[in-house]
Amino acid sequence: MIVRMARVRIAGPRPRLDAVLAELQDAGVLHFDRPRLPEVVPADGAVARQRRHLERCLRDVATSLERLQVPAAPGVVSDPPAALPRAVRRARRVRRHAERLHLSQAALEDERMLLLRYREFFQAFESLVGQELTWPDGQAFYVVLRAGAENALGALTQSLQATVSGEVEVLHRELSTGEWAVLILASSGAAVKVAELLSASRIDELPAPPGLGTSNLLRALPGLKARLAAIPAEIATIDAERAALRRDVSGWLCGLQAFLRDRLLLLDARARVHAAQHLFLLEGWLPAADVAPLERRLQAAFGPEVVVAAIGKEQGAAADAPVALHNPAIFRPFEMLTRTLPLPRYGTIDPTPFVAIFFPAFFGVMLGDVGYGLMLAIVAGLLRLKSRPGTMLRSGSMVAMACASSAVVFGILFGELFGSLGHLVGLRPIFNREEAPMSFLGLAIAIGGVHILLGLVLASVSAWRRGRRREAMGRGVTLAMLVFTATALLAALRVLPPGLFTPFAVAVLVAFPVLVALEGVVAVIELLSAFGHVLSYARIMALGTASLMLAVVANQLVGAMGSVLVGVVFALLFHLVNFAIGLFSPTIHALRLHYVEFFGQFFSPGGAEYRPLGHWHASS
Amino acid sequence: MEIALIAFAAALAIGVPALATAWAQGRIGPAAAASLAEKPELSTTAIILIAIPETMVILGFVVAVLILLRTGA
C-alpha cells in the first residue's frame, strides 16, 4: 500500500540552519520540497564553490578506491576529518599514488602481452641463437606469412635470390597456428634492396618489440626471455605496494567518502531551503506517522526557536506528495514486479498485494504440475541460499517459491506429476484439464472476468478517493455492464436459468446510455476492450494445455525409441526443456496479464519516489 | 476426407496466426533490442511489447482446439 504522507513547514533563525539540517539528516525522514514562495531564492556562490570543491575531492576518493580495488562496504559510516583541507590534499596524494601504481601495472601487462605475441616466433629460431652470423653487420627481417602461403614463400625466396643473390639467406619454420615464420638475413649492402622488395610485395615485417635496444630480434632473444621472466616479479612488487597502500588508507577513504557524500546530500537539501537574512524556511514530505516524533525531536534539540507546522491540504497539494510503498513482509518480494513499472501516483492504489495473490495463482494454473513445481522449489531454495536479505535475488527467490507452491497445489488439483505420471503414484485429478479442455477454457475466462472486475472496482475506488466522482461512477457502470452481459450470455447458453436473459439484457440496454452520458463515446471503446481483456485470459488455458501436452509427449518417448534406456534419457531431456519453457512462458504471460489487462483498468503511474534526506550508504 | 479437412482447418487456425505473430515479433524484437541498448530501463515495456502479438497464436491455438473438439475429430 502507499504510505500516507504529510507536508510540514519548518522555520527557525538563520544561524541554526546548518544544525537543523544535520538533525534532519540524522532523523532521515524528511523528503525536501522547495517552499511555495513567490520570491526567487538567489543562488549562493559560496555554496556552489563548496559543492565543486567537495565533488572534486569525492572524485579523487572514488578513483583511489577503484584503483586500489577496495570493495564497497555497506556498513561504513561518515568519518568527519579533523581538518577538511588536509584531508582533501591527502586524498589527492593517495589518488596520484594509486594511479601511478595502476599505470605502471598496465604498462607491464601490455609489455608482457606484446612479448608473448613474439615468443613463438623467436622460439622457432631459438636454435640459431649463439651461432655466428654470416653477416655480423647485416640486417635481419622478420616476416609472418598466413597459413597455406607456401607458394608465396617460394616466390619470395626466388625473388630475393634473383635480386641479391649470395647476399641473403632465407630461413622458415611453420608455427603452431599454421602460419609461417620467415627469417631473412641479409648483408648490409643488400638490406636496402630486400626492404624494397618486401615493400613492393606488400609483405609486412614483424616490428621489433620496443625497449629491447636493438633492431636484430635474434640477438635480442636472450634479453627478451629475461624480460619476460622479470615482469611477473615487477607486477608482484606493484601488487604488494598497492596492498600496503590499501591497508593504510582504505578505511580512511571509505569514511571520507561517506562524509563527502553526506555533505553533498546536505548541500542538495540546502538548495531547497528558503534562507533569508534572519530566518530560514523549509518544507518537505514525510510519513504522517512520523510528524509528531520529528516535532518532538526538533523541540528537544532546538527548543521553541525552531517551529514545525503541518501544512493543510489546501496549501500542499497531495498530488505532489512523494510515494513510499509499505507492504506486509509476505507481499514485499512482489514489489520487484510492480517496481519494474513507474511508481503509482500518490492517492491511487498500490497493486503489489493483488500481484502477490494473482501472479503465483496464474503461474500455478498454467504450470500446474507437482514435479515441475518441486523442481522450481529446489531452484528457489538454491537462490535463497545464495542471496543476501534485502537483495533483488532474495526477492526473486521468494517469488519463485510462491510460484512453485502454487504449481504444486494446482498440480495436485489437476493430478499431474511430470504430465501423465501422476496416476502412477496415486494422484487422482479433482479437475482433469487433459480430458476437459472446454471446462478449462471456461475456467480461464472466468478467472479473467474476476480479475478484470476487480480491476474496475479498484479503478472506481481510486477515482472516488481522488474526488473524481464522475469517473468513479463510469467505472462502476462499466463493471455492472460486464456483469449484466456475462449473465445474459450465460443465460442464453443455458448455463444459467434462461429466464435471466431478458432482465439482464434490458439492464444492459438501460446502462449503456448512462455509461455514454457519464464518460462519453470513449467509454464504449473501453467497454469493448474490457471484453477483449477478459478473453485474453484464454491464454491461461492455452499455455496450461500446451505444457501438459509436452509433458505427455515426453513420457511417450520412453516407449517410442526402441531402447527403454535411450527413451528414458530423451524423456528426461524433453522434461527439462519443458520445465524451462514452463518457467519462461507462464512468467511472461502472467506478467502481461497483470501489466496490460489488470493494471490497464486502474493503475495510474507517475508518482515521485520518497527520498528523505539521510546519511549516505555504500549500497545506495 | 472429412477428418483431413477438419485437421487442415485446425492447422490453419493456428498456423496463420503463428505466421502473423512471427512477423510481428520479428519487427518488434529488433526494435526492442535497439531500444534496450540505449535505455535498459525499458526492459519491462520491451517484454510486454514482444508478448503482445503472442495473443494471436494463443487464441489461434484455442480456436484450433475448439475446432477439433466441436467436430469430434
Mean pLDDT by groups of 10 residues along chain A of 620 residues: 89 89 89 72 71 89 89 71 83 92 92 76 70 73 76 81 82 79 82 83 66 56 78 92 90 88 88 84 89 90 87 62 90 90 88 95 93 94 90 92 95 89 83 85 92 93 86 90 90 87 89 85 84 90 87 80 80 88 88 90 87 76
A324: CB partners within 8 A, 6+ apart: A2, A3, A5, A287, A609, A610
Residue A37 has what pLDDT?
66
**In angstroms, rounded to a whole number, what is the distance separating the alpha carbons of residues A477 and A518?**
9
Question: Which CATH number do you get for residue B15?
Answer: 1.20.20.10
ipTM of the complex: 0.73
Please spell the DSSP secondary structure of A235-289, one letter per residue. Answer: HHHHHHHHHHHHHHHHHHHHHHHHHHHHHHHHHHHHTTSEE-SSEEEEEEEEEGG
Task: List the domain boundaries for chain A.
Answer: 116-221, 349-602
Please report which helix (H) or strand (E) contains residue A185, including its range. strand A180-186
Distance set, CA A536 to CA A440, A495, A564 (Å): 14, 21, 41
Residue A518 has what pLDDT?
85
How many independent structural domains does chain B possess?
A: 1
Closest approach of chain B CAs to the CA of A592, in angstroms? 6
Q: Which residues of B touch A (CB under 8 A)?
A: 43-44, 47-48, 51-52, 54-55, 58-59, 61-62, 65-66, 69
CB spacing of A592 vs B51 below 8 angstroms: yes
Q: CB-CB: which of B58, B61, B69 is closest to A438? A: B69
A185: CB partners within 8 A, 6+ apart: A133, A134, A135, A138, A139, A140, A168, A169, A170, A171
CB spacing of A538 vs B58 below 8 angstroms: yes
Mean pLDDT is lowest, of A331-335, B22-26, B49-53, for B49-53
What count of CB pairs under 8 Å joins A to B? Answer: 44
What chain B residue is nearest to A532 in terms of C-alpha separation?
B55
Q: Measured at the alpha carbon of residue B32, what is the angle toward residues B30 and B33, in degrees to the nearest 5?
A: 65
A465: CB partners within 8 A, 6+ apart: A347, A348
Please report which helix (H) or strand (E) contains residue A298, including its range. helix A291-302
Q: Which residues of A25-44 are buried (b: 16+ CB within 10 A; e: fewer)?
A: bebebbbbbebeeeeeeeee
Residue A315 has what pLDDT?
46
Given its phi and psi angles, is residue A124 left (phi above 0), alpha (psi -120 to 50 degrees) or beta?
A: alpha
Q: Which domain holds residue B46?
A: 2-70
Q: What is the DSSP letter of A598?
A: I
Please spell the DSSP secondary structure of A553-569, one letter per residue. Answer: HHHHHHHHSSSHHHHHH
Q: Which residue has the cell 579523487?
A: A60
Start-end of H helices in B39-53: 43-51
Q: pTM for this one? A: 0.74
Residue A270, all three cell numbers = 540546502
Residue A370 has what pLDDT?
93
Q: Architecture of A116-221 per CATH?
A: 2-Layer Sandwich (3.30)
**In angstroms, rounded to a whole number, what is the distance separating the alpha carbons of residues A58 and A91?**
9
Q: CB-CB: which of A341, A538, A588 is closest to B51? A: A588
Residue A316 has what pLDDT?
44
β A168-174/A180-186 pair status: antiparallel
Listed residue (A451, A443, A441) closest to A482, CA to CA: A451
**In angstroms, rounded to a whole number, what is the distance separating the alpha carbons of residues A257 and A264?**
11
